[in-house]
Structure 1
Amino acid sequence: MTTTWRHLPAPAREIAGAATDAVAAARERDGEAYEIAVARLGAAERSGLVLGAVVRLLIEESHPDGLAGDDVRQVLERCVRGAAEWRPEVDPHVLLVLLASALGVYDPDADDAPPAPPAVARHAALLVADLLAVTGHPLDGYLAAAFTEIHRTELHD
């Protein structure tokens, strides 16, 4: 973990650390480290909110003109194909829910079985790792921006 998160409260630092570890394990395709990190991430309250903000920031950067249907399909296909090589249980539906949630177009009431927090954590780390590979930037800046955005939103609500 970097000093970027030193000022954050303990729960936020835990999310940042677990997300960093999960994404690093996904990039390295280290199944054991991945399982440990996503278990921590799935247990951390509000990790889905943070990961959703990171996904949205990554999508905004990699698709500055917006995300069309073909773009969504391309992101999903790339992520599923890459992850399936070492995580055969990857679920395209969960990845689609993560993308739709990050873009603000997912209605959990319309979904018969919205993904549980452990599935969100497991798939969000894969999606973030995939999107980071496209941008070529480290996760740190996106996490910091996500926490700043969430804090600002909570202050105004």
Structure 2
Amino acid sequence: MRSSEWYDLPQPARGIAEATVAAVTAARDTDADGYRVATARLAGHQAEQVGIVAGETVRLLLEDRYPDGLTGDDLRAVLTDCAGAAGWYPEFDPTVAMTLIAGALGVHEADGEPLPLDPAGAAGHGPLLIARLATGAPHPLTGYLRAALAEIARTETMD
């Protein structure tokens, strides 16, 4: 069966996009079972690819939501909002969400050490963060995902 929204994408990009949309939708609906299924699908893809797509999507959303730059107060508000909205998700860890934001903003090391983020944490928290940031964003989620995938493809082509 072809997804009408993502049929033009190659695998694994299509699978990551479909699972991300499913997870974000489940997060918005506070559908714990649907979220578990969708994040398990995400975790079934290569962790680095899932993390890059989530990170680029979060970066694009942050740029649109905070066009004048992200302050410490803005960051605190994003984390507080995400934590409040994730009350149905007992595994929510604000440290993991903060690590995802830091990675999306290009901070990949702390004190010379890579930021600690396991694949399950990224798959479980990325869609929560995307769901909150996409709420009230000026463009639909699919636009951000497509832009993220295009930016990744452009960067890989240049490498």
- TM-score, length-normalised on structure 2? 0.91
Instruction: Give the C-alpha shift of residue 2 in structure 1.
Output: 5.5
Instruction: Give the C-alpha shift of residue 103 in structure 1.
Output: 0.4
Instruction: Give the C-alpha shift of residue 69 in structure 1.
Output: 1.0
What residue in structure 2 maps to residue 61 of structure 1?
A: 64
Instruction: Give the C-alpha shift of residue 34 in structure 1.
Output: 0.4
Deviations 1:110-142 (A, max 9, x none): 25x712111101100100000011316421101
Instruction: Give the C-alpha shift of residue 72 in structure 1.
Output: 0.7
Mapped partners of 2:59, 2:158: distance in 1:
20
- Code of the residue aligned with 1:81 in structure 2: it is G
- Code of the residue aligned with 1:94 in structure 2: it is V
Mapped partners of 1:65, 1:137: distance in 2:
18
Q: Could you list the runs of 4 or more consecutive aligned residues of structure 1 that deviate by over 3 angstroms after TM superposition? A: 1-4
Alignment of 1:137-152 (within 5 A): 137-152=139-154
Give the superposed CA RMSD. Answer: 1.7
Segment of structure 1 superposing worse, 4-13 or 147-156: 4-13
Count of paired positions: 155
Query: Which ranges of structure 2 fall in alignment gaps of 5 or more residues?
Result: none
The 3-state SS of whatever aligns with 1:105 is coil
* Conserved? CA contact 2:6–2:18, under 8 Å: no
Which structure shows the higher helix fraction?
A: 1
The 3-state SS of whatever aligns with 2:12 is helix
Instruction: Give the C-alpha shift of residue 100 in structure 1.
Output: 0.3
Instruction: Give the C-alpha shift of residue 106 in structure 1.
Output: 3.0
User: Quick one: percent identity of the two aligned structures?
Assistant: 48
Instruction: Give the C-alpha shift of residue 3 in structure 1.
Output: 4.0
Which residue, out of 104, 115, 118, partners 1:116? 118
Instruction: Give the C-alpha shift of residue 50 in structure 1.
Output: 0.4
Mapped partners of 1:8, 1:69: distance in 2:
37
Mapped partners of 2:31, 2:5: distance in 1:
25
Query: Which ranges of structure 1 fall in alignment gaps of 5 or more residues?
Result: none
Alignment of 1:1-157 (within 5 A): 3-45=4-46, 46-83=49-86, 85-107=87-109, 110=113, 114-135=116-137, 137-157=139-159
